[in-house]
Amino acid sequence: MNTIPLWRRIVAEGIGTGLLVTVVIGSGIAASRLSPNDVGLQLLENAFATALGLAVLILMLGPVSGAHFNPVVSGVDWWLGRKTGNGLTSRELGAYVPAQVSGAVLGAVLANLMYGEAAVSWSTTERGAGHQWLGEVVATAGLIVLIFALASSGRAAMAPAAVGAYIGSAYWFTSSTSFANPAVTIGRAFSDTFAGIAPASLPGFVLAQVAGAAVGVALLAVLYPAAGQAADDVVKRATGVSK
Amino acid sequence: MNTIPLWRRIVAEGIGTGLLVTVVIGSGIAASRLSPNDVGLQLLENAFATALGLAVLILMLGPVSGAHFNPVVSGVDWWLGRKTGNGLTSRELGAYVPAQVSGAVLGAVLANLMYGEAAVSWSTTERGAGHQWLGEVVATAGLIVLIFALASSGRAAMAPAAVGAYIGSAYWFTSSTSFANPAVTIGRAFSDTFAGIAPASLPGFVLAQVAGAAVGVALLAVLYPAAGQAADDVVKRATGVSK
Amino acid sequence: MNTIPLWRRIVAEGIGTGLLVTVVIGSGIAASRLSPNDVGLQLLENAFATALGLAVLILMLGPVSGAHFNPVVSGVDWWLGRKTGNGLTSRELGAYVPAQVSGAVLGAVLANLMYGEAAVSWSTTERGAGHQWLGEVVATAGLIVLIFALASSGRAAMAPAAVGAYIGSAYWFTSSTSFANPAVTIGRAFSDTFAGIAPASLPGFVLAQVAGAAVGVALLAVLYPAAGQAADDVVKRATGVSK
Amino acid sequence: MNTIPLWRRIVAEGIGTGLLVTVVIGSGIAASRLSPNDVGLQLLENAFATALGLAVLILMLGPVSGAHFNPVVSGVDWWLGRKTGNGLTSRELGAYVPAQVSGAVLGAVLANLMYGEAAVSWSTTERGAGHQWLGEVVATAGLIVLIFALASSGRAAMAPAAVGAYIGSAYWFTSSTSFANPAVTIGRAFSDTFAGIAPASLPGFVLAQVAGAAVGVALLAVLYPAAGQAADDVVKRATGVSK
């Protein structure tokens, strides 16, 4: 059981998800301004910054809240833990998700302000092709399997580096550039810049992420049938602390 | 002895090899589309994604199957282990290799579909110059020495990061861009994109990889004469778990 | 208590801060000379070199002085430790900061000389927009939270890689390219090259960094209320040595 | 005392130094061919491959020979160890250095052949400006301090990643692109490609490296006065094995 008060964990989820969005959007703005002639180079710069920044944020806040920063991660933890009495309770889940979404929006505003943009500008980047949805399913399923595989095999301490590396790679190998996170997806709608997503494209991406999480849960049932017993360990304290 | 049922390990080998091919081909498609003017930048993007993605896949599936994802790794494990009663049995080897090859083909199809390409398009990229075969010999020999050196010195937990780093480097230092894996080579024939290889070039590359594996085994006999005793540890559980 | 004589620790702080500035300025000169057509690529090269170089310098000198290399890190350590009898004493703080600043200036001279520039050339790069100050506040706050979060959770051994990764990411996600260090900021005024900052822009940046440190301390009070008890561990021996 | 027979260690030093040169030259050839329009991008590709490849080679061969791959590292180990009865003996030093140099030359030939070049082509790249020699002094001094600092503080297991990261950074922050290794410098004279050095420039570079090693030893006397007692641990078994 996690003995850190819920309010403190909620603050950590809000700050962490917010700074993750700041990293994604901020580095995207810098990349598109500084490398205007090659979109691939922009994505490489964006992926470099995100892989390192995400790893650092998980290291920084993991001991407080588990550093989910992602409603589908929290949701799967609740789902897997239900069966074993581990994981987030439904009340905790109901507190984590709004904190993640609110933090994500504020993180987008912070990135916009840091770069002298309007505090909010709705993204006009449409991301709605069917093959991009398939990309999101793959990206999210892989993320879920990774996180719970590490927890289930006693290697939660490797989660910060592994999750950062995964997203840095998935920016490239999925056609959707791997959002894989409903809260971050919502936040990215608030910035009409490199990493943005048009509000009209949100429902498709979020649905694809939920479907990907379901695929991930199904794969875990095959690969790590005991993953549920590690839900508590994985999600509440995926901290980078050696056990 | 590995107590995980063989069917589960086979599934892990198929998924892992498949996703490795998805990473290689998918990031190659993204790189060539987004950075059309510099092939070196495309290869850097491809290498960045592959190094991180391969490390993550080994972390993710190592505890289940050993995360070989490569018939020559499985083959060498069987070969070295024969002498000491360790390593894969011939029956296990006979199950691993088809799973790896099937997974690789499906991984290519997944990458093609994620990027809106036809499910299968035979590659037209010929890779058959003699100096490229030399590149494959070097690439595969180095990979074999690395994996069994780590196992033999009790450092299998470093295999995920080390193997990812090795391939990321070998993309650059070998003239063949380091396929070093017969299953992945076959999978890459199914996509006429950046990372593809024409079917007619397959036999040369696979032969060079087998020759490289033999060179690797010879080098191990000199450098790590006791490597065979670690075959069980290396190949079945190259998991990233500290011992 | 740190039993290494203060004079030796001061030498380490001077050398480490100096070499950090050499890394930042030197790689900036190389990047702008070799990649003249894309500022983003220059920043990527600069960030790559700085992330790796900073991590190495903390590994190299952490066991001697704690490897602060940064007056706001030393200052926060003193501040947090005051309440608990941990951390730097005011006398130690008064020795660390001048060593850091002197080292930074000499590091700039070394970079200039290595690249055949005049030993000193005042930077003419103005960095004074309000949104850049916001960038410095964010960058410094994040750095402070990271360092003391790691110490407070018994993971000071991860500080070298984590701090290097953080700065490599923050080069991109903050609009100020994340100086986050008053000593390094002063040193960078002594080189009219890629990484320089005009002397007239110094006060604004340093004030923003101090404000960011205050924000970091406030966040620590919420997230890691016991951080002060780890001040001794974090700052004097953030060494990369497992405990 | 290292119980591995000297002949085996010599083979490891030869193979390791050789493959290091293969990595440096091979990735340099690929980079200059594939990214013909931006020398900075070539150096970034070269640094990416070298940082990862060097780390992997030290992991691979450290348990056999200590993975010096560098006459000045072996020389300093002998020098520091003389005073304490640790480190390489003069006989071992006399075996290590020729193996390193011979391996380096063969590694250059292998890189040339892999890329379809003549087996040997004398480099015509002159590297003889005074500020480049200063770069070599800085690069070599830093390398020596790093290696013996890690050993002296019981962190030799971090040497592979740390040395790879150091060289990757020093490619950028030193004006000489950080050869920092007399054997590798000699090997690089045998390839008239991106990473080559004209034979006439060899003496200046090697002398600067020896001077840098002396500076490194002087710095160690200040920073880690007990480094000599760790010479045995550092140089013979800088293996990446946790103690």
CB A200 within 8 A of CB A128: yes
Q: Do B15 and A170 touch (CB under 8 A)?
A: no
Alpha-carbon span C72 to C70, nearest angstrom = 6
B4 touching A (Cβ < 8 Å): no
Q: What is the DSSP letter of A199?
A: G
A35, A114, A241, A242: best mutation site toward chain C, by most C Cβ within 10 Å?
A: A114
Neighbours of D (≥3 Cβ pairs closer than 8 A)?
A: B, C
Write down the pLDDT at residue D1.
Answer: 45
> Mean of the pLDDT values across residues A197-226?
97
Spatial CB neighbours of B143, under 8 Å, sequence gap ≥ 6: B70, B73, B163, B166, B167, B170, B180, B212, B216
Q: How many CA atoms lie within 13 A of A73 on its CB side?
A: 32
Alpha-carbon span D150 to D231, nearest angstrom = 11
Write down the pLDDT at residue A235.
Answer: 54
Element housing D24 (H / E): helix D6-34
Q: Do C116 and D138 touch (CB under 8 A)?
A: no
> Mean of the pLDDT values across residues D208-212?
98
Closest among C110, C123, C132, C109 to C179, alpha carbons compared:
C132
Spans of all domains in chain B? 6-237
Q: What is the pLDDT of residues D95-138, one digit of tens each?
A: 999 999 999 999 999 999 999 999 999 999 999 888 999 999 99
A140, A144, A172: best mutation site toward chain B, by most B Cβ within 10 Å?
A: A172
CA dihedral B108, B111, B116, B118 (to 10 degrees): 0
User: Which of B39, B48, B173 faces D26 most closely, judged by CB atoms?
Assistant: B173
Q: What is the pLDDT of residues C173-215, one digit of tens each?
A: 999 999 999 999 999 999 999 999 999 999 999 999 999 999 9
pLDDT at B239 over 60: no
Write down the pLDDT at residue D84.
Answer: 82
Element housing D222 (H / E): helix D202-223
User: Which of B44, B174, B175 faces D48 most closely, judged by CB atoms?
Assistant: B44
C158 touching A (Cβ < 8 Å): yes
Write down the pLDDT at residue D237.
Answer: 52
pLDDT at D2 over 80: no
User: Which of A8, A49, A63 faces C172 most closely, judged by CB atoms?
Assistant: A49
Q: What is the pLDDT of residues B198-221, one digit of tens each?
A: 999 999 999 999 999 999 999 999
Angle in degrees, CA B97, B228, B76, rounded to 5: 25
Write down the pLDDT at residue B236.
Answer: 55
Q: Do B241 and A153 touch (CB under 8 A)?
A: yes
Residue C44 C-alpha, separation from nearest chain A C-alpha, in angstroms: 7
Alpha-carbon span D58 to D238, nearest angstrom = 8
Q: Do D53 and B219 touch (CB under 8 A)?
A: no
Q: Do A114 and C129 touch (CB under 8 A)?
A: no
Angle in degrees, CA B117, B120, B122, rounded to 5: 110
Q: Determine the straight-line distance between the first and last CA of chain B, rounded to whole angstroms.
A: 15
The total of other beta-carbon atoms located within 10 Å of residue A120's CB is 14
Residues of C in contact with A41 (CB under 8 A): 38, 40-41, 44
Q: Determine the straight-line distance between the first and last CA of chain C, rounded to whole angstroms.
A: 15
Expressed in percent and rounded to 5, the helix, strand and coil fractions of chain B are 75, 0, 25
Write down the pLDDT at residue A240.
Answer: 37
Residues of C in contact with D138 (CB under 8 A): 22, 110, 114
Q: What is the pLDDT of residues B97-119, one digit of tens each?
A: 999 999 999 999 999 999 999 99
Lowest mean pLDDT segment, chosen from A15-19, A218-222, B124-128, C82-86? C82-86
Alpha-carbon span C132 to C213, nearest angstrom = 16
Element housing B6 (H / E): helix B6-34
Closest among B204, A118, D150, A30 to C57, alpha carbons compared:
D150
Q: How many CA atoms lie within 13 A of C37 on its CB side?
A: 8
Residue B130 C-alpha, separation from nearest chain A C-alpha, in angstroms: 30
pLDDT at B235 over 90: no
Write down the pLDDT at residue C83.
Answer: 79
pLDDT at D234 over 80: no
Three-class DSSP category at B131 = helix
What is the interface pTM, i.e. ipTM, of the complex? 0.95
Residues of B in contact with D64 (CB under 8 A): 223-224
CB C78 within 8 A of CB C87: yes
Alpha-carbon span D201 to D188, nearest angstrom = 11
C37, C173, C194, C219: best mutation site toward chain A, by most A Cβ within 10 Å?
A: C173
**Mean of per-residue pLDDT scores for chain B:** 94
A19 touching C (Cβ < 8 Å): yes
Residues within 8 A of D (CB atoms), B 176-235 only:
219, 222-224
- Second CATH level (architecture) for the domain D6-237: Up-down Bundle (1.20)
Residue C7 C-alpha, separation from nearest chain A C-alpha, in angstroms: 32
Alpha-carbon span A159 to A168, nearest angstrom = 14
